[in-house]
Amino acid sequence: MAVLCRPAVSVPEYVITMEETLELARARHADHPQLGLALRLIRNTGVRTRHLVQPVDRTLTHPGFEERNRLYAREAKARVPPVVQRALEDGEVRAADIDMIIYVSCTGFMMPSLTAWLINTMGFPSHTRQLPIAQLGCAAGGAAINRAHDFCSAHPGANTLIVACEFCSLCYQPTDIGVGSLLSNGLFGDGVAAAVVRGTGGHGISLERNGSYLIPGTENWIAYDVRATGFHFLLDKRVPGTMEPLAPVLRSLAGGHGWDASDLDFYIVHAGGPRILDDLSAFLHVPPHAFRHSRATLTEYGNIASAVVLDALRRLFDEGGVDDRARGLLAGFGPGITAEMALGRWNRAAGPAPKGAR
């Protein structure tokens, strides 16, 4: 049974607060006819702080798509390896024990993927399989967990490394002044996360079932408009209401496993915004406290895209986890509108380490 081990997470050192974000919006868009609405939406996100790969003044400049993408690659190579090393240690495996690397990111582009660079520089075997995922946005964290589960199920005893690297601040577009763009400027943050999914042994979530769902006719609700200046984020105002059609899908997945989605022991979901969590609480009939880890990520880091699910899970580990065999749900939501969902049980028994591991 594949086990998702404790994630390692890192956020950059440059910090912007909610009040600084609001003040910048007032200063830069004083004549915007809907400034009051944008400020209210940003304030309602509940995001207190976000972390950036550059100081705020440099983040607000646009040196061009080429330079931004070069910065993405440089920062990824500097910030990902230490997080990966911690994830390997937390999973009690070595680089030599990894059979596949899944790399997810929607905020920069590299070809070959960073997976090739990691294999060449961190001691992963040359036969390590590579699975880069670039176009699932915030849902990619859940997708990575599910694809790791699938791989470990198809190859008993295999181990997978998941890496999520998101530098959302590099997608800031100073000329985009729609309310949705202004909201995103106050919502998204930067972060790197990694976790091992072990095919045998391991302490964490024993993955049992997964599923995917796309809400028909919503493919343009979250999107990138790719221009000469880079990725321009498009966000439809109907996105916050998507939990109403997705809650029954989560119920169906759990029901097919003989579980009641309203009566689980833990919930780790992507926090795109506070309404997502509020609606899930209402539609699944679970107390708001059930989503405390996702809300904490949103409050302290903002929406760090595909890394949210891994950071929320890291917080559950930090809290001490739950009882052995406790049942839980993990889910990521993103462009499509796509939901990537998983069910699993908490596994406290570490079990045998992979051959050759410490």
Reported as a single tens digit per residue, the pLDDT across 8-44 is: 999 999 999 999 999 999 999 999 999 999 999 999 9
Average pLDDT of span 210-234 = 94
Q: Which amino acid is at 257?
A: H
- Could you tell me the end-to-end alpha-carbon distance of the chain, in angstroms, rounded to an integer? 20
Whether residue 353 has pLDDT greater than 80: no
Whether residue 356 has pLDDT greater than 70: no
**Sign of the torsion angle spanned by Cα atoms 324, 326, 327, 329:** negative
Contact 155/198 with Cβ under 8 angstroms?
A: no
Model's pTM, two decimal places? Answer: 0.94
Least reliable range by pLDDT among 108-122, 151-165, 192-206, 233-247: 233-247
pLDDT score, position 306: 96
Average pLDDT of span 307-335 = 96
136 lies in some domain: yes
Chain position carrying tokens 């956020």: 11
> 5 catalytic, yes or no?
no
The token pair at 257 is 């496993």
Q: Are residues 111 and 229 in the same domain?
A: no
DSSP designation for 348: -
pLDDT in tens, 223-265: 999 999 999 998 888 998 999 999 999 999 999 999 999 999 9
Average pLDDT of span 35-58 = 94
pLDDT score, position 273: 87
Q: Classify residue 225 as exposed, middle or buried by CB count within 10 Å of its CB (0-12, 13-18, 19+).
A: exposed
83 lies in some domain: yes
Which residue among 5, 106, 138, 171 is the active-site one? Answer: 138
pLDDT score, position 240: 87
DSSP designation for 352: P
Contact 191/314 with Cβ under 8 angstroms?
A: no
pLDDT in tens, 151-183: 999 999 999 999 999 999 999 999 998 888 888
Q: Are residues 118 and 224 in the same domain?
A: no
Average pLDDT of span 198-223 = 95
Least reliable range by pLDDT among 42-46, 77-81, 84-88: 42-46
The token pair at 154 is 């198809």
pLDDT score, position 1: 85
| CATH code of the domain covering residue 291 | 3.40.47.10
Give 354's pLDDT tier (boundaries 50, 70, 90). Answer: low
Q: Are residues 15 and 77 in the same domain?
A: yes
Contact 10/311 with Cβ under 8 angstroms?
A: no
Give me the domain span that covers residue 320.
204-347
The residue out of 158, 176, 198 marking a domain boundary is 198
Q: Are residues 168 and 187 in the same domain?
A: yes
Give 269's pLDDT tier (boundaries 50, 70, 90). Answer: very high
pLDDT score, position 328: 98
Average pLDDT of span 297-306 = 96
352 lies in some domain: no
| Nearest-5° Cα angle at 22, 51 to 314 | 30
pLDDT score, position 352: 52
Q: Are residues 194 and 326 in the same domain?
A: no
pLDDT score, position 350: 56
354 lies in some domain: no
Whether residue 100 has pLDDT greater than 90: yes
356 lies in some domain: no
Q: Classify residue 96 as exposed, middle or buried by CB count within 10 Å of its CB (0-12, 13-18, 19+).
A: middle
Q: Are residues 179 and 73 in the same domain?
A: yes
The residue out of 177, 198, 219 marking a domain boundary is 198
How many domains, the chain?
2
